[in-house]
Amino acid sequence: MDREFIAERQKGLQNYLNVITTNHILSNCELVKKFLDPNNYSANYTEIALQHVSMFFRSEPKWEVVEPLKDIGWRIRKKYFLMKIKNQPKERLVLSWADLGPDKYLSDKDFQCLIKLLPSCLHPYIYRVTFATANESSALLIRMFNEKGTLKDLIYKAKPKDPFLKKYCNPKKVQGLELQQIKTYGRQVLEVLKFLHDKGFPYGHLHASNVMLDGDTCRLLDLENSLLGLPSFYRSYFSQFRKINTLESVDVHCFGHLLYEMTYGRPPDSVPVDSFPPAPSMAVVAVLESTLSCEACKNGMPTVSRLLQMPLFSDVLLTTSEKPQFKIPTKLKEALRIAKECIEKRLIEEQKQIHQHRRLTRAQSHHGSEEERKRRKILARKKSKRSAVENNEEHSAKYSNSNNSGSGASSPLTSPSSPTPPSTAAAPGLGKRCKGRDVRVASSTPTPTSSSSLTSFEHRGALTVSTPGCEWREPRGLTQLHPEFPKRNFEESRNL
């Protein structure tokens, strides 16, 4: 086949995959993961879930499976089944089964005790667990089935039993909730988050599909996710920001996503959000800016208590008579605290790796850019020219030094025992400039006749004479006093 055609098809496929993987819902789809990584996603989790559920029914014969709820959730390793009680055939319940995740740090004993403790949790804004059990590899929980569905079903006008992709990936109509609904639902979610934080119970899994609607009341779902060690729906977002490094700050950031979806009827295109579209109230934008803006993601999240004091939620009156109850033994509280610290530590390490990878990618992109390559070429040329100039200067200096040393090399070297002529004596044959003429000055004092003395005297060339009206030249060697100075005269003077 034509190479250009193959390259064009490869480029088109890469662009197609980039679009899919940048979509938050599609990137978590089981089909996409199996296509991109078939080795790690080859297991049939529906069959595995059925095996565990069948084993559960052997010890609990009062339950019966009505039908599997295929792909109603976004998790690959979490499956749902519509259930009924044999002696109450009209009531419908939902069974959820989930495998263990990478953040499971509780011991098997503590894990099973805490899972079985969940049905005892009573709170007006937590969806009640009817039954819960666990083994060393998974957990199984049963709740009442709600025909109205979740908060996300309300926003997208979806049916609860439809597959996740069909319900939320491509909505026909995008419309947010009314301001009073935003205020009420937001206040209820913040209240239950504060309750869990005060109890020391880690959550970190807030999103619109985990908020069940019961009339005008929001109730939180899936408290078991943090015990199972499952990753958060928004982990790919907050793992990019190193200031969001605790489960409390994770919950606040996820609340920002939830508030954005309630306000605008869709999730944000990207995070952080540079500018927010018009909202029903500026108080909504103020909360969104404190949780999703560039400044908030860079500097850190506010606390849940701080959000409750903001104008959007401070004037909301909650009417409920149900008293919250959730008793956790001291030993299990300590186990939760240690597990929470381990979860946060792994998050910090992941954020560090992402930060280093992004720095490396930016550096490679910068050095590989056309502008940077041109800049490096210009710098290389300048450096080459500078090196050439320095080499020429060094060569010229060496050549000059060799010439200077060569002019004195025509005479023999001075013997160490040679006497030094007196500084006031005039050298024989030494020229001086007097009134513009070169004249010879004869010495009035006896001159040593030894060749070594003469050679030493000539080689040093440091003799000076103070004569009025005359200006001496720069001291030089005898061969440099006159360009026509014959070497023969020098040989003859040596033989004197």
Q: Using the predicted structure, report yes or no on whether residue 203 has a pLDDT greater than 50.
A: yes
For β-strands 437-440 and 431-434, DSSP reports them as antiparallel
Structure confidence at residue 54 (pLDDT): 87
Q: Is the pLDDT of residue 439 over 50?
A: no
The answer to whether the beta carbons of residues 194 and 186 sit under 8 Å apart is: no
The Cα–Cα gap between 79 and 60 comes to 19
- The pLDDT of 293-318, averaged and rounded, is 95
Q: Between these two residues, 459 and 327, which has the higher pLDDT value?
A: 327
With a pLDDT cut of 90, the percent of the chain lying above it is: 54
Tell whether the model's pLDDT for residue 435 goes beyond 80: no
Q: Which pLDDT band holds residue 181 (cuts at 50, 70, 90)?
A: very high
Which pLDDT score is estimated for 366? 67
* Residue of higher predicted confidence among 414 and 400: 400
Q: Please report which helix (H) or strand (E) contains residue 65, including its range.
A: strand 63-69
Give the strand pairing for 211-214 and 131-134.
unpaired
Please give the model's pTM, rounded to 2 decimal places.
0.73
| pLDDT of the residue at 241 | 95
Q: How far is CA 106 from CA 8, 228, 336, in A?
A: 50, 9, 7
Q: Which residues contact 70 (CB under 8 A, 6 or more apart)?
A: 46, 163
For the chain, give the percent of residues with pLDDT over 70. 80
Find out whether 280 and 178 touch, Cβ atoms under 8 Å: yes
Q: Which residue has the higher pLDDT, 207 or 372?
A: 207
Amino acid at 65: V
**Rounded to an integer, what distance in angstroms lies between the CA atom of residue 115 and that of residue 311?**
37
pLDDT band at 397 (very low <50, low <70, confident <90, very high): confident
Q: Looking at residue 172, what is its pLDDT?
A: 82
DSSP element (H, E) containing 337: helix 330-368
pLDDT at 113: 96
- 304 against 41, higher pLDDT: 304
Percent helix, percent strand, percent coil in the chain, to nearest 5: 50, 10, 40
Rounded Cα distance, 250 and 235, in Å: 9
Whether 421 shows a pLDDT value over 80: the answer reads: no
Query: Is the per-residue pLDDT at 309 higher than 80?
Result: yes
pLDDT at 369: 72
Name residues whose C-beta falls within 8 Å of residue 158's C-beta, 6 or more positions apart in sequence. Answer: 149, 152, 166, 167, 168, 171
Given this model, what pLDDT does residue 141 score? 96
Average pLDDT over residues 24-41: 89
pLDDT at 370: 74
Residue 436: which residues within 8 A CB-CB, separation 6 or more?
none
Q: H-helix or E-strand containing 432?
A: strand 431-434
Query: Is the peptide bond prior to 448 cis by the omega test (within 30 degrees of 0)?
Result: no
Contact present, 243 and 300 (Cβ < 8 Å): yes
Residue 361 scores a pLDDT above 90: no
Of 175, 148, 194, residue with least CA distance to 262: 175
Q: Is the pLDDT of residue 22 over 70?
A: yes
- State the pLDDT confidence band at 432, using cuts at 50, 70 and 90: very low
Per-residue pLDDT averaged across 342-369, rounded? 87
The yes-or-no verdict on residue 68 having pLDDT over 70 is yes
Is a pLDDT exceeding 80 seen at residue 207? yes
Phi/psi of residue 258, each to 5°?
Answer: -60, -45
Which pLDDT score is estimated for 468? Answer: 44
**Which residues fall within 8 angstroms of residue 188, CB to CB, at 6 or more apart?**
125, 217, 218, 318
Q: What is the mean pLDDT of the segment spanning 248-276?
A: 95
Q: Is the pLDDT of residue 43 over 60?
A: yes
* DSSP conformation letters of 237-250: HHTT-TT--SHHHH
pLDDT at residue 349 tops 60: yes
pLDDT grade for 244, boundaries at 50, 70 and 90: very high
Sign of CA dihedral 246, 249, 254, 257: negative
Helix (H) or strand (E) holding 139: strand 138-144
Report the distance separating Cα 427 and Cα 420, nearest Å: 12
Q: What's the confidence (pLDDT) of residue 404?
A: 62
Helix (H, G, I), strand (E, B) or coil at 484: coil
Hey, what are 44's tokens? 């049939």
pLDDT tens per residue across span 213-241? 988 899 999 999 999 999 999 999 999 99
Instruction: Using the predicted structure, report yes or no on whether residue 460 has a pLDDT greater than 50.
Output: no
The pLDDT score that the predictor gives to residue 403 is 64
